Amino acid sequence: MLTVGETLSLGPNELVTVPSVHELHRPIPPNPGHDVGVSEHTASAAEAPEAIDETTDTETLDPVDRRTIDRQWWRGDRKVLIVVGIAALGFVLMIRGVLSGVTGDDRISLPDAVEDVTPVPGAVQVLNQTSVFVDLAPGFTGEFVIDGEPIETINVDEVGAVTVEPGQQVDLPPVTIYEPGNATLTFSPSSGAAIEEFTEGEHRVVLRYWLIEDGPARARSFTWTFNVF
C-alpha cells in the first residue's frame, strides 16, 4: 500500500512521488494568453462573419453592367413611345378627316366683301336641310342662285312689320332673308321653298352681291360648291 509522499519507482531513472489529497484538489492554472471562464471554442463578435446583402444596387454595379441595364430600359421604353406616338398620330388624322369632311377646305380665299359662308367651300358631308348663309361686309346686300335656281330675297324688317300677337312666333317666308344690321343672307330649305331639301351629291351656290348705294347693276359674284351625303 502506497502512502502520501512515498516515492514509486516505475523503471530505470523514472521515479514518481504520490501526491497528497490537497495537491489532488489544487486547481489547474490557466494557460498563458487565455481568459479564465471563457471557452477557447467561443468566437468573439468581431470574428463573426458579416451578413451578405443579396440586394443588387445599381450604384454598386460595374459601369459596363450599368450601361447594359440602361440600354435594356431605353429599348423597352422606346417601343412604348413609338406605339403611343403612332396611336396619337392616327387619332389626329382621324379627327382631321372628320372635321375636313364636315367643313371642307377653308383655305379657299373669300372676296374682301364676303366675310364668311356656310357651308364652307368644298364641304363633303353636309346635311340635306343645311342653311346657306353668307356674312357680307357692312353696306352690302345680295342674292343667291342655287343649282341654277334664283332665290328671292326679302329684308327681315319687312317681315317684322307684320302685326303678331304677344308670344306668337313670326313665320319667315321660304326665301332668302337679308338682315341689314348684320349684312347677312340666309336661305333654309323648307316646305314651299324653291329648294325644299338638298339631294345627295354636289350643289352649286352663286352669290351675287353689291353695295346698296350702287345697286344690283354693279353686282359682283362668288361661286362655291358643297356635297350632301
> Is 130 a residue whose pLDDT tops 60?
yes
pLDDT at 44 over 70: no
pLDDT of residue 85: 78
Angle, CA 124 vertex, CA 118 and CA 128 arms, to 5°: 65
Predicted TM-score (pTM) of the model is: 0.55
Q: Could you state, in order of their start, the residue ranges of all structural domains in the chain?
A: 61-102, 114-162+171-228
Task: Dump pLDDT digits (tens) for 140-178.
Answer: 999 999 999 999 999 998 876 555 566 656 678 999 999
Residue 17: the pLDDT is 61
C-alpha cell at 123: 364641304
**Maximum CA pair distance of the chain?**
166
**Where does the pLDDT of residue 228 fall: very low under 50, low under 70, confident under 90, or very high at 90 and above?**
very high
Would you call 126 exposed, middle or buried from its count of C-beta atoms within 10 A (0-12, 13-18, 19+)? buried
CATH 2.60.40.1220 fits 114-162+171-228, yes or no: yes
How far is residue 132's CA from residue 205's CA, in Å, rounded to a whole number?
9
Give the integer Cα–Cα distance in Å for 2 and 52. 64
Of all residues in the chain, the percent with pLDDT exceeding 70 is: 54
Confidence (pLDDT) at 40: 46
What is the band of 20 on the pLDDT scale with cuts at 50, 70, 90?
low
- What pLDDT was estimated at residue 208? 98
